[in-house]
Amino acid sequence: MPRQERDDITLWVANEDQFYSMVMRMYDRWVDEGDSWNEKTARRELEPVVEEIAEALFAKGFWDDPYTAKEKREAVDELLEDFDQYREEELDERQKNAAAKPIPRKPMDQFDKDHAAKMEKMILNVGVKQLPDILEHPVNMTEADAKRAGIEFLRGYMPVSQARVRRALEIGDPYLNTINIHKWREMSEMFGYRNYRMSVWDGVDVLKHVATWYYA
């Protein structure tokens, strides 16, 4: 019996928010690596991601058979090719942003200031939990170490690119409401808000705070 026709893995990546976000976070990190980016290393990082996506698709029951090793290799090859174009466009966008005027910021009232202070505490709490995996002697960590670790960790769960966040701020959207709320909620779930004694909406808010002040 012939194997049933099915969509390529990369098509699912392009059309499913969960898979798309996984790959976009990786792409953005690779762009940040600059000249130190290496295709062999990138391929090793991408292979388990494609494997996870392929397994998730098979688990949904769409196909009678799992994706083959050949199909997964082809998906990795295509995603690496896509990254070349993405990197070129993203670097061009970043260059334009670097030359652009500073992002307009809405004056903060007392509510905004209190909310920002709450978010900074949450960032610190997230960072404290990351440091044992980062520092050889976490007992010597400083508050600045924890804050940097928290920001770096949460930056890994941005649902959209820096350019997209910047555009939202530039059009006068200080709360980033023009970016689909489901994307923020999904990332809140993915970074594990419960592990930090947050609600899902606290997770959304802290991601938006990081996006506004430490990402755009």
Instruction: Express each pLDDT in 99-115 by its tens digit.
Output: 666 677 778 889 999 99
Would you place residue 37 in the very low, low, confident or very high pLDDT band (cuts 50, 70, 90)? Answer: very high
At residue 139 the predicted structure's pLDDT band, cuts being 50, 70 and 90, is low
Higher pLDDT, 98 or 89: 89
Q: In this predicted model, what pLDDT tens digit does every residue of 47-87 receive, in sequence order? A: 998 998 888 888 888 777 888 999 999 999 999 999 999 89
Query: When comparing pLDDT for 51 and 21, which is higher?
Result: 51
Q: What is the pLDDT averaged over residues 12-29?
A: 79
Name the nearest CA neighbour of 21 among 205, 171, 194, 164. 164
pLDDT computed for residue 141 by the predictor: 67
Q: Are 46 and 112 in contact (CB under 8 A)?
A: no
C-alpha pair distances (Å), 41 with each of 10, 36, 47, 77, 132? 20, 10, 10, 13, 25
The pLDDT value given to residue 3: 45
* Pairwise pLDDT comparison (62 vs 118), residue with the higher score: 118
Q: Which residues are CB-contacts of 150 (< 8 A; sequence separation ≥ 6)? A: 122, 123, 124, 125, 126, 127, 128, 130
Which pLDDT value is given to residue 133? 53
The CA distance from 122 to 104, in Å, is 25
Closest CA to 159 of 116, 190, 129: 190
Would you list the domain boundaries of the chain?
Answer: 9-99, 110-214
